[in-house]
Amino acid sequence: MIGTWQLVRLALRRDRILLPIWVLFLVGVTYSTTTALAELYDTQQSRDLLGVTANANSAFLAMLGPLHDWSSLGGLVVWRWGVFSGLFVAIMAMLVVTRHTRAEEEAGRTELIAATVVGRHAPLAAAVIVAGGTSLLIGLLQALALIGTDLDPAGAFAFGLSTASVGLVFTAVSAFTAQLSENSRVSNAIAGGFLGVTYLLRAAGDAAGESGPQWLTWFSPIGWTEHVRSFADNRFWVLLLPLATFVLVTGISAYIVSRRDVGLGLLAARLGPAQGTIGSPFGLAWRLQKGSLIGWSIALFAVGVIYGSVAQAVGQMVQDNPALGQIVSKIGGADAMVDAFFATVTQLLGLISSIYLVQAVLRLRSEETSFRAEPILATPVSRWGWVASHAVFALVGGAVVLAAAGLGLGLVYGVQTNDLGTVLPQMLGAALVQLPAAWVIAGVALVLFGLFPQLTGVSWAVVSVALVLTLLGPALQLDQWMIDLSPFTHVPKYPDITFGPLAWLTVVAVVLLAAGFAGFRRRDLST
Amino acid sequence: MTSAISVSGLVKTFGPTRALDDLDLDVRTGEVHGFLGPNGAGKSTAIRVLLGLLRADSGTARLLGGDPWKDTAALHRRLAYVPGDVNLWPNLTGGEVIDLLGRLRGGLNKARRAELLERFELDPRKKGRTYSKGNRQKVALVAALSSDVELLILDEPTSGLDPLMEAVFQDCINDERGRGRTVLLSSHILAEVEALCDRVSIIRGGHIVETGTLADLRHLTRTSISAELAGPPNGLTDLAGVHDLVAEGNRVRFEVDSDQLDPVLKQLVSTGVRTLTSQPPTLEELFLRHYEDAK
């Protein structure tokens, strides 16, 4: 452990911009959410109405979790922001830990460090201290921000510590996944996949209220924060679960570190074939992208299965609750509620799929900057052919990923309702109509790559903006023209599928893609 | 004799930096041409322009009779390239990369592939991420040398190779010359260029400052002479082209401009020569002179 503090200082120096941004973001949103909700729900009457509808709307339940306490402003903040706060802090912890452990090791810099007076466990310890410490700092400042708006201190600390607890769990999870593979991309993918499962388990557990499989939320670190019931009951003892997980998983990771070679993973590298069979740019792109395509397809299929299995309980919830049934009958009854649920879910799936599409397009840029495009483009492969070989994974691969999601939804809901023949094509359709909007996002990414290669990373900002506008735009009471900027706003809502918007979205996507191709054909290769 | 590469007045800027500044380069078909210059002189930029990876701001470049920017695919069928920074895909084996690049180029010679793997002592079954820098370079070299192409463009191909492998590389390039291939070899390893190249171009600040055969270049420079004479040296200081003369009794050491050798030697012979050593300038000296002049 010698040298840990020097490495902590090194990490803080390297992340001196990134970490403050995370802290400011997570604390700032906590504060602004509180003030916005205070304005929005300024009477007890309006809060009571929210209490009934929030816990009856399964799309809300799946996305945000249940609203435990609507008598206090704190309860509203926990409901609106708690799950996402945990999600974001988990992403922060994951990126920080991988960046300072496996990515360093992969780049060969750990070797440089390990040859100095530094303990074997110091790099891991430093990463855990930085990520865990930042999580705790965020939680503490969130609590202070809530107390600063005159909320109950006990509830405020319950909330802040809940956020911090998710950060701690994912600090440990990433410390563990960093031991598994030699490749930091793979480490992040495994940890990210686990985060997805964590979110989905609680989404599935929450979506149908008490009619659904609520016990699932006990298997999710984000679900645990819901069980703390900040401001409602302040069950601090629940936080022992994440704490124990943190200690256990960090301990296992440290044990692995003391057993393995620097630079290697648990999953050992093996010899491969001496002869190759790849003979085309597409063959190479397939080799590079298939893991991601298959992984995403399985993941979205699983998401579809989970949401599909909840859908029936959504209908059930209405029948179980006469008061709710009355409200719902005004908007078209239980069927309309299930339809609205699928409309929300498929839109969410569309948004998630756009992350895959952008990632597939950005592979072009990472191939270029790592000098791996150069030897390929020094062969008779044309610029056009090379770009197309990867773009096809965004365009066609996107369809595969969305179809997998629709298949998951349709299979489960179809079997449950004994109507597979009707439901399956409906769900496939509902998922695939998202494709043109996702293509538009991919088109923007390709335009950036083709015309402004240094700004290719802005594609992620584009995805984030589309996510925020589509999911939170109405709640944040943004102007309609802003919400209209997201292509997903224009996708027809299930079950009313019209082809007009799909056609023009496709045209926009084609124009963007053509511009990106043309731009790359004309520009210099650059790093 | 035709030219495989002919470049004139080439300019390429990156923002305020003028990476290529009125560059002229002529590589004749069938020769091994050394492209010499220190880091940052513009060697790789020039090569990337020739490969159609960068677009020149002005000037003309002809490669195998075509335009490197417009006829990219057709030209690339006839050449092979080894980049200065070889980065491999972490999960592809060396063998897979060799075959991939070969197939993209339109096929490779299996027998030569096997022979080269043996000569370079390269295990093709290892994954890209497990190769050292030198081994990554070998992968690119085997891929390039086992292709049936007219032109090889090699950008500092031996910077990671050990001396034994450097010798193997030199043998291979000599074989390529025997097969009638044209080679453009960028390098800053002077011994390598001296051993391999028919002609050399020296680049400085994006501009070719000297080009020609090694003999031509030497002709422009000085030869070191040291001699023991029969009597005291006389009249040497008065001769044109003699520099740095040191005389100790009957011994002399001096440098002489190569085109003034004849009168100087006549003067020595008139005094009577006991021993004589003459050293042609090394490429190193040549190179250093060009770069020191610039400072």
In DSSP notation, A327-376 reads: HHHHTTHHHHHHHHHHHHHHHHHHHHHHHHHHHHHHHHHHHHHTT-HHHH
- Do residues A64 and A83 touch, judged by C-beta distance below 8 A? yes
**Consecutive H or E run containing A184:** helix A184-207
| Residue B279 confidence (pLDDT) | 80
Q: What pLDDT shows up at residue A12?
A: 92
Q: Which comes out higher in pLDDT, residue A1 or A401?
A: A401
A463 to chain B nearest CA, in Å?
Answer: 27
- Looking at domain B3-217, which CATH architecture does it have? 3-Layer(aba) Sandwich (3.40)
Cβ pair B81:A281 closer than 8 A? no
Interface test with chain A among B100, B138, B146, B155, by most A beta carbons within 10 Å: B100
Residue-level pLDDT at B117:
95
The CA radius of gyration of chain B, in Å to the nearest whole number, is 23
Q: How confident is the model at residue A441 (pLDDT cuts 50, 70, 90)?
A: very high
Is B127 in contact with A272 (Cβ distance < 8 A)? Answer: yes
Delimiting residues of CATH 3.30.70.250 domain(s) in chain B: 221-294
> Residues of B numbered 119-158 whose beta carbons fall under 8 angstroms of chain A's beta carbons: which are they?
123-127, 129-130, 140, 153
Residue A417: per-residue pLDDT: 86
Residue that has been written with the tokens 């677009």 in this structure: B55
Q: How far apart are CA B144 and CA B154, in angstroms?
A: 9
Q: Are B141 and B101 in contact (CB under 8 A)?
A: no
User: B116 at the A interface (CB within 8 A)?
Assistant: no
Q: What is the pLDDT of residues B56-67, one digit of tens each?
A: 999 999 999 999
Q: How many CA atoms lie within 13 A of B147 on its CB side?
A: 29
Residue A331's pLDDT is what?
Answer: 64
pLDDT tier at A323 (50, 70, 90 boundaries)? low
Q: Which of B143, B138, B191, B193 is nearest to B160 (CA)?
A: B138
B48 touches chain A (CB under 8 A): yes
Q: What is the pLDDT of residue B292?
A: 67
pLDDT(B295) > 60: no
CA distance A337 to A313: 11
Percent of chain A clearing pLDDT 70 (strictly above): 95
Residues composing chain B: 295
d(Cα A464, Cα A452) in Å, to the nearest integer? 19
Query: Span A468-482, mean pLDDT?
Result: 77
Question: CB–CB of A409/A307 below 8 Å?
Answer: yes
At A53, list the tokens.
Answer: 């509808």
Q: Which pLDDT score, from 0 to 100, does residue B142 have?
A: 95
Contact A487, A398 (CB under 8 A): no
CA angle, residues A511, A512, A518, in degrees to nearest 5 = 90
Q: Look up the pTM and report it.
A: 0.77
Instruction: Report d(CA A174, CA A191) in Å as an integer.
Output: 6
Residues A386, A377: Cα–Cα separation, whole Å: 8
Q: Give B-chain residues touching A383 at CB under 8 angstroms.
A: 72
ipTM score of complex: 0.79
pLDDT of B78 above 80: yes
The mean predicted confidence, pLDDT, of chain A is 88
Q: What is the DSSP code string of chain B?
A: --EEEEEEEEEEEETTEEEEEEEEEEEETT-EEEEE--TTSSHHHHHHHHTTSS--SEEEEEETTB-TTTSHHHHHTTEEEE-SS----TTSBHHHHHHHHHHHTT-B-HHHHHHHHHHTT--TTSBGGG--HHHHHHHHHHHHHTB--SEEEEESTTTT--HHHHHHHHHHHHHHHHTT-EEEEEES-HHHHHHH-SEEEEEETTEEEEEEEHHHHHHTSEEEEEEEESS---STTTSTTEEEEEEETTEEEEEEEGGGHHHHHHHHHHH-EEEEEEEPPPHHHHHHHHHHHH-
Q: Which amino acid is at B287?
A: F
pLDDT of residue A269: 65
* Closest chain B CA to residue A285: B89
Show residues of chain B in contact with A292, CB under 8 Å: none
Range A147-162 average pLDDT: 94
- The first and second tokens of residue B65, run together, are 């009779």
CB-based contact, B274 to chain A, within 8 Å: no
What's the confidence (pLDDT) of residue A475?
Answer: 65
Closest-CA residue of chain A to B140: A375
User: What sign results for the dihedral spanned by CA atoms A302, A304, A305, A307?
Assistant: positive
The CA distance from A413 to A425, in Å, is: 12
* CA distance to partner chain A, nearest, from residue B269 (Å): 58
Residue in A274, A375, A522 nearest the CB of B93: A274
CATH top-level class of B221-294:
alpha beta
Distance separating alpha carbons of residues B88 and B137, to the nearest angstrom: 10
Weakest-pLDDT range from A192-196, A468-472, B194-198, B276-280: A468-472
Mean pLDDT of A353-382: 91
DSSP state of A260: S
Asked if residues A77 and A37 have their Cβ atoms less than 8 Å apart, the reply is: yes
- Cα separation, B214 vs B157, in Å, equals 21
Q: Establish if B92 touches chain A: CB-CB under 8 angstroms.
A: yes
CA A515 to chain centre: 29
pLDDT class for A56, splitting at 50, 70, 90?
confident
Alpha carbons A160 and A78: distance in angstroms, whole number: 10
Cβ contact, residue pair A372, B124, below 8 Å: no
Average pLDDT, chain B: 88
pLDDT tens digits, one per residue of A65-110: 899 988 889 999 999 889 989 988 998 999 899 989 988 887 777 7
Measured CA to CA, the distance from residue B293 to residue B295 in angstroms comes to 6
The Cα B96–Cα A261 span in angstroms is 27
Question: Hey, are the CB atoms on A522 and B51 less than 8 Å from each other?
Answer: no
Q: Over 70: is that where the pLDDT of A322 sits? A: no
Q: How much is the average pLDDT of B82-102?
A: 90
Confidence of residue B293 (pLDDT cuts 50, 70, 90): low
pLDDT in tens, A331-359: 677 777 788 888 888 998 999 899 899 99
Contact between B286 and B222 under an 8 Å Cβ cutoff? The reply is: no
Q: Which of B28, B104, B49 is nearest to B73 (CA)?
A: B104
Q: What is the DSSP letter of A218?
A: G
- The packing angle between helices A435-451 and A499-522, to 10°, is 20
pLDDT of residue B2: 85
- The strand ranges marked E within A146-249 are none
- Of residues A174 and B294, more confidence is placed in A174
Pairing label, strands B199-204, B3-14:
unpaired
Burial class (CB in 10 A: 0-12, 13-18, 19+), A42: exposed
Given a cut of 80, whether residue A315 has pLDDT beyond it is: no
pLDDT-derived band at B1 (thresholds 50, 70, 90) equals low
Do you know the residue count of chain A?
Answer: 527
* pLDDT score, position A266: 67
Task: Taking residues A240-262, report their average pLDDT.
Answer: 91
Q: State whether B85 and A371 contact (CB < 8 Å).
A: yes
Lowest mean pLDDT among A67-81, A462-476, B170-184: A462-476
- Facing A287 at nearest CB: one of B92, B106, B129: B92
pLDDT at B215 (0 to 100): 78
Residue A176 φ/ψ region, left for φ over 0, alpha for ψ in the -120 to 50 degree band, beta for the rest: alpha
Residue of B nearest to A184 (CA): B90
The two tokens of residue A260 are 């393995």
Q: What is the pLDDT of residue A469?
A: 83
pLDDT interval class at B294 (50, 70, 90): low
A321: confidence class by pLDDT, cuts 50, 70, 90: low
Amino acid letter at A259? Answer: R
Residue B238's pLDDT is: 80
First CA to last CA distance, chain B: 37
Q: Work out the burial of residue A20: count CB atoms within 10 Å of its CB; fewer than 13 is exposed, 13-18 middle, 19 or more buried.
A: exposed
d(CA A498, CA A285): 34
pLDDT value at residue B265: 87
- A476 pLDDT band, cuts 50/70/90, is low
A415-435 residue pLDDT tens: 888 888 888 999 999 999 999
pLDDT at A328: 65
Question: Cβ B97–A276 below 8 Å, yes or no?
Answer: yes
Distance CA(B5)–CA(B3), nearest Å, equals: 5
d(CA A105, CA A435): 38
Region(s) of chain B under CATH 3.40.50.300: 3-217
The answer to whether the CB of A523 falls within 8 A of the CB of A502 is no
A433/A9 Cα distance (integer angstroms): 49
Question: With bands split at pLDDT 50, 70 and 90, how would you rate the model's confidence at B93?
Answer: very high
What's the pLDDT at B27? Answer: 94
- Whether the pLDDT of residue A464 is over 90: the answer is no
Is the pLDDT reported for residue A32 higher than 60? Answer: yes
pLDDT at residue number A318: 67
Other CB atoms within a 10 A radius of the CB of residue A304 amount to 27
Q: List the single range of A62-66, A373-377, A515-519 with lowest mean pLDDT.
A: A62-66
List CB contacts (< 8 A) between A381 and chain B: 73, 76, 104
**Would you call B225 an interface residue with chain A, using a CB distance cutoff of 8 Å?**
no
